[in-house]
Structure 1
């Protein structure tokens, strides 16, 4: 293997040079593995007092202890009261009375009278609006507007009514024309039916007579056909 080893620098013994190169490479790899970064990328240090907060826990325990003590004292007092008979009679048999009841009633009556008098004044007051004069003034203004305007008032409504009347007249005339056409058609049909009836009677008469009458009947039927 040492014969195929490539040396960067000239040497006397290739075998020894190969061993030297391997040892140097091994030292280099060990240094790479043992190298430490210059930038600290590790997690920051955790402080227990920031997570547990012992001061807060201490205050909470003290508060609970105070509450427990107060509850115990209150329970002892209540039990003592229940065991012993009370010395003070705290039953109230009197009705509550108001010291300013009459004054409030007088004020309420006064307010009621004032409201009633105000309502009477409002109702008895006549209206200040002059509706008739306003109406006359408005009619006068309309007359002035008609006199100075180019078109009369409500001209568009008149046009609408005239157009509707024209459409109605057109519809009536069209219906009358249709009726006349149908009557003419019915009259023509009656004539043809009468003619057909005459033709049938002539043919019936020709069959009842002799040979001479048959010829005359055929001539008549041909004349009738030509007339049709």
Structure 2
């Protein structure tokens, strides 16, 4: 039987390259052991890597790309874009406005009336609270608080072992006493 697309001679040469395992012994166990060893060998041969590198050489980007040229092209592109924007801005500045910038639209709210009623009621309540606070008389007097504070200061000065005030105040008091004695 001939394979389609292949001449008979090619098929015969392909078959002749294949190894046919021929039993050299009549011992079944020995024959099986040799067949396994041969299968292991064939697996190793199939997975073997070539000793000569047949891959094409590496391509280095710095050799194939002209980065300086690419950078220059980007700079030119940016400059062109900047010039275009400058031209647009100068055109806008040179011509008067074309559109109407007035907005006569009045905002409409669904709950405007309710919010106004609530605002009026809150302001009335605030006025009532303010009126009650203004009519209310204080329970404590400021004069009594001041007298209590003076009494507290006197008691504190009597109880203290050392005189009150910082060292600077003490020096000033001492200097004032010396000056008054000299006179």
TM-score between the two structures when normalised by the length of structure 2: 0.30
Structure with the bigger percentage of helix: 1
TM-score between the two structures when normalised by the length of structure 1: 0.25
Structure with the bigger RCO (C-alpha within 8 Å, sep 6+) is 1
Give 1 or 2 for the bigger CA radius of gyration: 1
